[in-house]
Amino acid sequence: MFIKIIDWFRNIFQKKSGVINLETFRNTETSIAVEAFALITTVELIAGLLAKCEFKTFQNGAEIKGLEWYNLNVRPNVNQNSTQFWQEVFCKLLYQKEVLIIPTNSQKIIADDFQKTERAVTETYFTNVSRGDFNFQETFRISDVYYLKYSNFETSAIIHNIFEMYTKLMESANGKYQKSGGEKGILEISALAQGNNDFEEKFSNLMNNYFKSYFSSTNAVLPLYDGYKYTPSTSDSAKKYSNEISDIKVLMDEALARSAQAFKIPPALIKGDVAGLKDAYDIMLTNCIDPLADMISEELTGKQFTAEQVCKGSRIVADTSCIKHIDIFDIAANIDKLISCGFASIDETRDKAGLPVINEKWSQEHYITKNYERIDNSEKH
């Protein structure tokens, strides 16, 4: 289903010519359009949020910023910055349920196409790997690349079945809307006009040309032959009722809600509701964003470091705390509490708040106020 949607967009927006293929657009089934709208809205929200993560690199437990940090957070390859790169990674992962990244020449290249040969007890390998017009000649073992697989059965089976139902409802609502907004009227033709030798020709020209142009124009004048009288209908059926429009809006909102739920996102975030926004973000981070961030963190860590190095504290972590906007005035009391109880240093709290660290000895130390003391010390007094 996801590949079908991607192919649909590729056919409509032809990359080489930059021209919209209108014929493909006109002939597209409503089901594809509804699925594409809801799924793309949801997936791009997830991918955009994950692209905001900072990938922190640790060596022997100490955070460092070297070439790998630069590669992950600034410029993964010569053609993409980190935001573009990670948005593409997660869009491919969620649409196609897998993504392959090839590390080569200090760059990370996302594969457009590849063939995978899975093995049970030996390494899976990849062949016919391509990116754009470039084809890799090598055979890549899974230990030499970054490979992510998204196993969410809801997005591949349940959503498809649900959207089939919504498609039928959407077509029905759209039909009601078109019918209520269509032009209707009565055409009277006198017996004298019908008796003319050129009646068939004039009637055909009137119906196929004059009326067609008249109905499709916002402002128009309709010329009529002698013996013809057209009276527009003044009934309420010629008006576009708001309830037909509401039917379509409700169906689209429901489609968005089902898509969001399949990706474990509160529907309020997709539909743009403001109420309960903070709680909705927390739920999304916990149920949707964090698992995906953990997946990429584990893949990067497992391929960059040996088991011994990981046990000593070397790792790569996608920091999802960068996703939520932080107002330092709103968290001032919490910052004071974190520092005063010795939980975090000044530099650590500044880093979490998105501010540059001071990087002085005193800013890296931990402090504790005299309000805190051991229980056994209080008993002595």
| 234-243: long-range contacts, CB 8 A cutoff, minimum separation 24 | 235/184, 237/179, 237/180, 237/184, 238/180, 238/181, 238/182, 238/183, 238/184, 239/180, 239/181, 240/177, 240/180, 240/181, 241/180
* Spatial contact of 108 and 85, defined as CB atoms under 8 Å apart: yes
Please tell me the distance from the alpha carbon of residue 125 to that of residue 138, in angstroms, as a whole number: 10
* Spatial contact of 144 and 109, defined as CB atoms under 8 Å apart: no
Pairing of strands 54-59, 62-64: antiparallel
Please tell me the distance from the alpha carbon of residue 277 to that of residue 331, in angstroms, as a whole number: 17
Read off the tokens for 19: 């021209």
List residues bridging with 100 in a β-sheet: 147
* Spatial contact of 9 and 44, defined as CB atoms under 8 Å apart: no
* Spatial contact of 145 and 103, defined as CB atoms under 8 Å apart: yes
Please tell me the distance from the alpha carbon of residue 276 to that of residue 260, in angstroms, as a whole number: 16
Domain residue extents for the chain: 1-97+150-183+237-325, 185-232, 327-381
Please tell me the distance from the alpha carbon of residue 71 to that of residue 92, in angstroms, as a whole number: 20
* pLDDT tens, residue order, the chain (381 aa): 444 444 544 454 444 444 434 444 444 445 556 667 788 889 999 999 999 999 999 999 888 999 999 999 999 999 999 999 999 999 999 988 899 999 998 999 999 999 999 998 999 999 999 999 999 999 999 999 999 999 876 666 655 665 565 566 566 656 555 555 556 677 777 877 777 888 888 878 877 777 777 776 666 677 777 777 877 765 554 445 555 556 667 767 877 888 888 899 998 888 877 777 888 988 999 999 999 999 999 999 999 999 999 999 999 999 998 887 777 887 888 888 899 898 999 988 888 887 888 889 999 999 888 877 776 665 555
Of 331, 333, 343, give the one whose Cα is nearest residue 368: 343
Question: What phi and psi, each to the nearest 5 degrees, are found at residue 115?
Answer: -115, 130
Read off the tokens for 52: 């905001």
List residues bridging with 186 in a β-sheet: 231
Read off the tokens for 128: 């016919």
